[in-house]
């Protein structure tokens, strides 16, 4: 028999929209462990969603604080994702709406847990989709639950597969990937090829998928099959790939002068532009991903540095409090990080405006491949800026200044090979300038 333990958070109101949110710990006494679920109450209705964290011992959960106890990597990771989830719930109800709009728990569920839209009835047990949904709830990396962003990526691939099944009018079972015979392996490979061609020629939403995205989808499909192989004991297809590496060839980094232009930009104090520019400065000098920004503790600004555990990899980044970083931290030491830093997509949009105001208009090549064919176009730098640009700026400018890959790895929490392949984006004009080679002007009277 199970018992429930929960600490109800205070009811919150945004205009006319009232809601209550809490994390529920469901304990199964016969197993001496429990699982976590999110409960949101609004308009006399309740949304209940399992968070995918199970096998939690009673002494690992702090009922009063609604937090995992201790400072283990698992506890830190789960607490960070709970905090992010609660912030997203609050941001949903805080969002501005027109007079005829109102928040609904159905819409909230769709936004926070898009993967749950693709529900499958129990009658479909044994289908690939049925196993994939179990994979999304149970898959771990080194015993550590995957991050919320990774689960969302799994949901995107699931929806792509459902679109493929709708296109072929076939519901595939996991056995379609069995490879215990030569014929079975050929049939399984043919199925992967058919899915891959569907992505290229149609796409889940009617738009062909670029090659980098295809590779990511097939990489996740391969990860799922390895999990399913262990889960079922079936020998399943191996060696799935779409060819090539997943490299952001169109990505760019700021030059030193562009970093300074952003840093020195005059913006209205306490405006959204001001706050996001400050976060950009911190990220350009630390290389932190967007999901790591709010993990930096501003109250430690007097210290020379602070460690930050990255939710994506579980590695530790060492945030050095260089003067630009310290200035940012000091500003938020009392108030904490502003709420405008909640959503990556919205921050990316504002960053483009900031880059435009800073005059970052140089043309950069945007290159991507569809079905093995490159497509390139020139765009102004400010139009392609994203939070990833800031990570690349840190790595690129540090390497330009003579730092070693090991130095950059220690500070950013990324391994050296990843930095070299995905984050170092040298500027060709800066490289030529360092060599002292200038344009030859016409000689007078020559």
CATH number at residue 365: 1.10.443.10
Query: Are 126 and 108 part of one and the same domain?
Result: no
Query: Are 239 and 292 part of one and the same domain?
Result: no
Q: Is 442 part of any domain?
A: no
Query: Are 19 and 156 part of one and the same domain?
Result: no
Task: List pLDDT tens digits, range 46-70.
Answer: 888 877 676 788 888 988 888 888 8
Task: List pLDDT tens digits, range 206-248.
Answer: 878 878 888 889 999 999 999 998 888 778 888 887 565 545 4
pLDDT in tens, the chain (446 residues): 333 333 334 444 444 568 889 998 887 655 677 888 889 998 888 888 877 676 788 888 988 888 888 877 678 777 877 887 888 888 888 877 776 778 888 888 877 765 555 444 444 567 899 999 989 988 888 777 887 778 888 999 999 999 999 988 888 888 889 876 677 788 888 899 999 989 988 888 887 887 888 888 999 999 999 999 888 877 888 888 756 554 544 578 899 999 999 999 999 988 999 999 999 999 999 999 998 999 999 999 999 999 998 877 778 999 999 999 999 999 999 999 999 998 888 899 999 999 999 999 998 877 665 656 666 678 899 998 999 899 999 999 999 889 999 999 999 988 888 888 777 777 666 666 677 777 777 665 55
Beta strands, E only, 276-372: 305-309, 316-320, 363-370
Residue identified by tokens 């980094």 is 253
Give the pLDDT confidence score for residue 364 in this predicted structure.
Answer: 84
Q: Is 439 part of any domain?
A: no
- Helix extents (H) in 95-181: 105-112, 128-138, 148-168
Strand partners, 24: 6, 37
Phi and psi, residue 314, nearest 5°: 80, 0
DSSP code, position 52: S
Q: Is 68 part of any domain?
A: yes
Query: Are 223 and 271 part of one and the same domain?
Result: no
Query: Are 312 and 335 part of one and the same domain?
Result: yes
Strand partners, 305: 320
**Which helix (H) or strand (E) covers residue 64, if one does?**
none
Query: Are 146 and 225 part of one and the same domain?
Result: yes
Single residue among 181, 214, 246 that ends a domain in this structure:
246
Give the pLDDT confidence score for residue 145 in this predicted structure.
Answer: 81
Query: Are 71 and 146 part of one and the same domain?
Result: no
Name every residue whose Cβ is closer than 8 Å to that of residue 360 and which is 6 or more positions away in sequence: 254, 258, 261, 262, 380, 381, 382, 385
Task: List pLDDT tens digits, range 301-342.
Answer: 999 999 998 877 778 999 999 999 999 999 999 999 999 998
For the record, the structure tokens of 67 come out as: 């937090």
Burial of 206 (0-12, 13-18, 19+ CB in 10 A): exposed
> Into how many domains does the chain fold?
3
Q: Which of 160, 179, 170, 171 is nearest to 221 (CA)?
A: 160
Rounded to the nearest angstrom, the gap between the alpha carbon of residue 379 and the centroid of all alpha carbons in its chain is 25
Give the pLDDT confidence score for residue 421 in this predicted structure.
Answer: 75
Query: Are 238 and 270 part of one and the same domain?
Result: no
Single residue among 227, 246, 265 that ends a domain in this structure:
246
Single residue among 200, 215, 246 that ends a domain in this structure:
246
Query: Are 225 and 289 part of one and the same domain?
Result: no
| Helix, strand, or coil (residue 357) | helix
For the record, the structure tokens of 282 come out as: 């911190």
Query: Are 130 and 40 part of one and the same domain?
Result: no
Domain that holds residue 53: 1-96+104-112
Q: Is 443 part of any domain?
A: no
Its pTM surpasses 0.75 = no
For residues 303 and 204, what is the distance between their CA atoms, to the nearest angstrom?
A: 49
Give the pLDDT confidence score for residue 111 in this predicted structure.
Answer: 73
| Residues present in the chain in total | 446
Give the pLDDT confidence score for residue 380 in this predicted structure.
Answer: 92
Q: Is 28 part of any domain?
A: yes
Query: Are 275 and 385 part of one and the same domain?
Result: yes
């Amino acid at each position: 028999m199970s018992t429930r333990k929960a600490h109800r958070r205070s009811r919150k109101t945004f205009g006319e929209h009232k809601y209550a949110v809490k994390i529920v710990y469901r304990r199964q006494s016969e197993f001496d462990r429990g699982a976590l679920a999110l409960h949101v109450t609004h308009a006399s209705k309740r949304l209940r969603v399992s968070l995918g964290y199970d096998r939690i011992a009673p002494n690992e959960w702090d009922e009063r604080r609604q937090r995992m106890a201790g400072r283990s990597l698992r506890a830190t990771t789960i607490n960070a994702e709970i905090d992010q989830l609660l912030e997203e719930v609050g941001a949903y109800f805080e969002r501005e709406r027109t007079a005829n709009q109102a928040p609904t728990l159905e819409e909230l569920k769709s936004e926070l847990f898009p993967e749950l839209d693709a529900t499958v009835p129990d009658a479909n047990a044994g289908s690939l989709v049925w196993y994939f949904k179990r994979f999304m709830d149970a898959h771990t990396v080194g015993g550590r639950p995957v991050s919320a962003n990774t689960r969302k990526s799994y949901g995107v691939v699931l929806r792509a597969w459902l679109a493929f099944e709708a296109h072929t009018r076939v519901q595939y079972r996991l056995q379609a990937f069995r490879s215990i015979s030569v014929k079975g392996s050929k049939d399984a490979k043919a199925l992967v090829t058919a899915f891959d061609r569907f992505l290229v020629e149609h796409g889940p939403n009617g738009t062909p998928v670029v090659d980098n995205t295809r590779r990511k989808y097939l990489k996740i499909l391969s990860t799922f099959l390895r999990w399913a192989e262990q889960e079922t004991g079936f020998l399943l297809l191996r060696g799935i790939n779409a060819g090539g590496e997943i490299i952001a060839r169109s990505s760019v980094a700021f030059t030193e002068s562009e970093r300074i232009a952003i840093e020195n930009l005059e913006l209205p104090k306490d405006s959204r532009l001001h706050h996001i520019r400050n976060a950009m400065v911190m990220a350009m000098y630390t290389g932190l991903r967007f999901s790591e920004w709010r993990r930096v503790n501003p109250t430690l600004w007097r210290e020379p540095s602070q460690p930050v555990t990255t939710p994506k990899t579980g590695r530790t980044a060492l945030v050095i409090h260089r003067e630009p970083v310290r200035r940012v931290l000091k500003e938020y030491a009392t108030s904490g990080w502003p709420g405008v830093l909640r959503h990556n997509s919205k921050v990316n949009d504002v960053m483009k405006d900031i880059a435009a105001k800073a005059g970052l208009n140089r043309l950069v090549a945007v290159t991507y491949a569809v079905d093995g064919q490159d497509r390139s176009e020139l765009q102004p730098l400010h139009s392609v800026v994203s939070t990833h640009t800031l990570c690349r700026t840190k790595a690129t400018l540090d390497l330009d200044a003579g730092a070693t890959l090991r130095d950059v790895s220690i500070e950013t929490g990324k391994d050296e090979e990843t930095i070299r392949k995905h984050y170092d984006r040298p500027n060709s004009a800066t490289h030529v300038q360092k060599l002292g080679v200038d344009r030859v002007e016409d000689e007078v009277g020559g």
